[in-house]
Amino acid sequence: MEKSAYHEFRDLEDRHWWFIGRKAIFNHMLARLDLPPAPRILDMGCGMGGMLKELAALDAHATVLGADVAQEAVSHCHARGFLHVLRAHGEALPLADSSLDLITAFDTLEHIPAEMETLAECQRVLKPGGFLMLSVPAWQILYTHQDRIVHHQRRYTAGDLERKLRLQGFRVLKASYINFLLFPMILPVVLAVKAWQTLLRTSPGQRTNVGVPVPLWLNNLFATIFAAERHVLARLSVPAGHSLLVIARKPAD
């Protein structure tokens, strides 16, 4: 990502509706995983460490590792007290075969050019029966200047990501779109902005969408709506939304 985006995300991760909502969903779905006692967990593409504390809370005896390609992100995690964070690329993890019970990659895979190699690497380092939880942005038609700022290589559909996971030997347990309650409002806005920028060949600079000021009452409302999706996702998968959540598992021997 651009350096400015890292700073925005660090400053907003505890109070912006998008971060609050997605964290509520991730935590809800993580708690439903059948992890062994004292699991070994890797948050791949951990960024500024926003989910490391949440992952550690899954089990008092969990070992939680983080990995990111940006030294600034790694240094920030260390400064926050997350010492088991290393600089590494997803397609070349410095970890032993079959050494992890869970890998999370929250809005990470879309940044990586070598996506298939990365999924193969996840397969390698997971134990038999280990879990992979991914979130990615959805629908290539929604690819905008925002995606370029944060260095997205692509957006996904559920079918596309499921196919790629299966090619690497994973069994897909769940594939659902998220941020679906607000999606009917988000979709026309994104498409209108994209058309406007294309028509006028304008660029809004290096500020991401999450950096746009939102009134506190509206921010709280959006956070509540987004977070409420966790109750739906626990029971069923949704066919459309702004992002995509997939849970897969490495088959047991």
Query: Rg of the chain over CA atoms, in angstroms?
Result: 18
Question: In which order are the strands placed within the sheet that holds 243-249?
Answer: 85-87, 63-68, 40-44, 100-106, 126-137, 243-249, 171-178
Give the whole-angstrom CA distance, residue 77 versus residue 171: 32
User: For 123-146, what is each residue's pLDDT tens digit?
Assistant: 999 999 999 999 999 999 988 877
Contact present, 193 and 176 (Cβ < 8 Å): no
- pLDDT of 187: 87
Please give the helix or strand (H or E) that residue 149 lies within, else none: helix 145-149
Closest CA to 88 of 121, 60, 110, 54: 121
The pLDDT confidence band at residue 253, using thresholds 50, 70 and 90, is confident
- pLDDT of 210: 58
Classify each residue of 173-186 as buried b or exposed e, where b means 16 or more C-beta atoms within 10 Å of its C-beta.
ebbbbbbbbbbeeb
Give the whole-angstrom CA distance, residue 253 versus residue 246: 22
Tokens of 223: 């956070």
User: For 163-216, what is each residue's pLDDT tens digit?
Assistant: 999 999 999 999 999 999 999 998 888 888 767 766 666 555 555 555 567 899
pTM, rounded to two decimals: 0.91
- pLDDT of 7: 61
Mean pLDDT along residues 62-78: 94
Contact present, 180 and 228 (Cβ < 8 Å): no
Return phi, psi of residue 29, to 5°. -75, -35
Q: What's the total number of domains in the chain?
A: 1
**Is pLDDT of 6 > 60?**
no
The pLDDT confidence band at residue 63, using thresholds 50, 70 and 90, is very high
Classify each residue of 204-238 as buried b or exposed e, where b means 16 or more C-beta atoms within 10 Å of its C-beta.
eeeebbbbeeeeeeebeebbeebbebbeebeeeeb
- pLDDT of 188: 83
Provide CB contacts within 8 A for 124, sequence distance 6+: 93, 97, 98
Instruction: Residue 136: give its domain's CATH number.
Output: 3.40.50.150
Domain range for 164: 3-249
Classify each residue of 74-88 as buried b or exposed e, where b means 16 or more C-beta atoms within 10 Å of its C-beta.
bebbeeeebeebbeb
User: For 155-176, what is each residue's pLDDT tens digit?
Assistant: 999 999 999 999 999 999 999 9
- pLDDT of 232: 97
